[in-house]
Structures are given as structure tokens and as C-alpha cells.
Amino acid sequence: MNWNTYPDRDLLALDLADTLASSLRNALARNDRVSFAVPGGTSPGPVFDALSTVHLDWDRVDVMLTDERWVPETSERSNTALLRRTLLTGPAAAATLIPLRADTATPEESLDALSAAIAPLLPIDVLLVGMGADMHTASLFPGADRLEEALSSHAPVLLPMRAPGAPEPRVTLTAPVLRGAMDTHVVIMGAEKKAAIEQARHLTPAEAPVSVLLGDATIHYAD
Ligand SMILES: O=C1O[C@H](COP(=O)(O)O)[C@@H](O)[C@H](O)[C@H]1O
């Protein structure tokens, strides 16, 4: 894995937005349409703010989340709402959002329809993921009920996930989908996450799910 360490979080956001824009442009030069998978949570907002202002052929970009919490968009925990607020605005509003949430009581009821929309867009051209201090990435949490299935090389595109560390059910892209991305970036902030990601390399995927995609990834870090 390669490290990019930034003097502060503002510079990280600007520089990472620039890096992602270059990667998207390169992919757009090769393909009619490009898939771009992004995390939710607290870390990526400023990156999305910066990236949303960049001019590129957003109308040829399919944007999807790496994972979603099974909450309505009115919830402050909705990753989709974060995306609409921060990334899918300005020039980037021309991108197509591929939903990871539908209006059913459980993720299981919508899984087939959500998966069918994602499958034709694989492999992911440009992937940005976040990571929790517990070394989860997307919604691949240590101790989650379907983690073993999601880490398998035969895993389906998308799985529901429930975990002790997650207050609501989730849906998540699985390990083979994340690992198959053409260009992978990880955004982390704070010393606790830096120590966690360094430790993750020496642990099993079940203990440290983020380790499955660190091989070719670039880590973007600021304190
Ligand atoms: O719950 C989630 O957590 C991770 C990490 O989020 P952060 O708030 O620690 O930055 C995130 O990557 C994932 O997409 C999200 O659903």
C-alpha cells in the first residue's frame, strides 16, 4: 500500500479530490461510462465538497455508495443523504446515483433489485473507501453476522449486514467487489485510525476487514 500523508485535513480534502478527478478522467478517456464507489460516514464530506465543483463528464459517471445504513434519507445517518448534500451538487449533479437503499422494511426485501443495478457496472473504475477505528470498511465489520460470506471469493455483489458496532442493519458491497476495483483509495484521519490500518496488515480479514483491499490501495492520511 502507498501512503499520502497531508499536513492537515483541508489539504487532504483538496488534494484527494484532485487525485480522484484525475482517476475519473483517465477512466472516462477509456470507457463510455465509469463507475465510482464512495463511502459514507464522517470522513469524506470535505472531499466530496471539493470534488463536486470539478468539471468533468459527470453525465457519464455512475456513483454508488460502498455501503448504506438501512435508514430513510431523512435520517442524519443516511449515507445517501450525505452524498446528495455534498457530492451530487454543482457540476457533479449530472452524475447518475445508483441507489443502495429502497423503501422496504428490511434490506433483504430489496437486495435482488439493488444488486441487479450494480452488477453491470462492475468492476468499479474508481473506489474510495473509509475505515472505522475497529478496522471495518464499507459495512464489513469485525463480528458481523454475514462477514464470512462477504469475505468469500464467491460472495454476491451486495449483502445485508448486521453487527454489534452498527446501530442499524446495513447493505454493503462485498470483498470481491471492493478488491476488484481498478483504482483504490482509502481516506483516514487521526492517529487512532493510522495505528489501526498499520495493524490491519498483520491481522486476518475476519479481524481486520479493511485488510482485503490494502494491497494496491493508496492511503490518504491527515492527523
Ligand atoms: O459507517 C460507516 O463507517 C465507515 C467509516 O466512517 P467514518 O465516520 O469513521 O469516516 C464508512 O467508510 C462507511 O461508509 C460508513 O457507512
Pocket test for ligand 1, best of 12, 67, 76, 192 (most atoms within 8 A of CB): 67
Q: Is the pLDDT of residue 1 over 90?
A: no
* Sign of the torsion angle spanned by Cα atoms 27, 33, 37, 43: positive
The total of structural domains in the chain comes to 1
**Domain residue limits at 45:** 2-222
Average confidence (pLDDT) over 206-213: 98
Report whether residue 43 contacts ligand 1, using a CB cutoff of 6 Å.
yes
What ipTM does the predicted assembly reach?
0.98
- Where residue 171 sits, what CATH number does that domain have? 3.40.50.1360
Alpha carbon of 53 to ligand 1 centroid (Å): 23
- Tens of pLDDT along 178-202? 999 999 999 999 999 999 999 999 9
How many degrees, rounded to 5, is the angle at CA 54 between CA 50 and CA 55?
Answer: 170
Quote the pLDDT of residue 60.
Answer: 98
Alpha carbon of 8 to ligand 1 centroid (Å): 20
pTM of the model: 0.98
Quote the pLDDT of residue 220.
Answer: 98
- Tens of pLDDT along 45-90? 999 999 999 999 999 999 999 999 999 999 999 999 999 999 999 9
Report whether residue 133 contacts ligand 1, using a CB cutoff of 6 Å.
no
Residue whose C-alpha cell is 463536486: 52
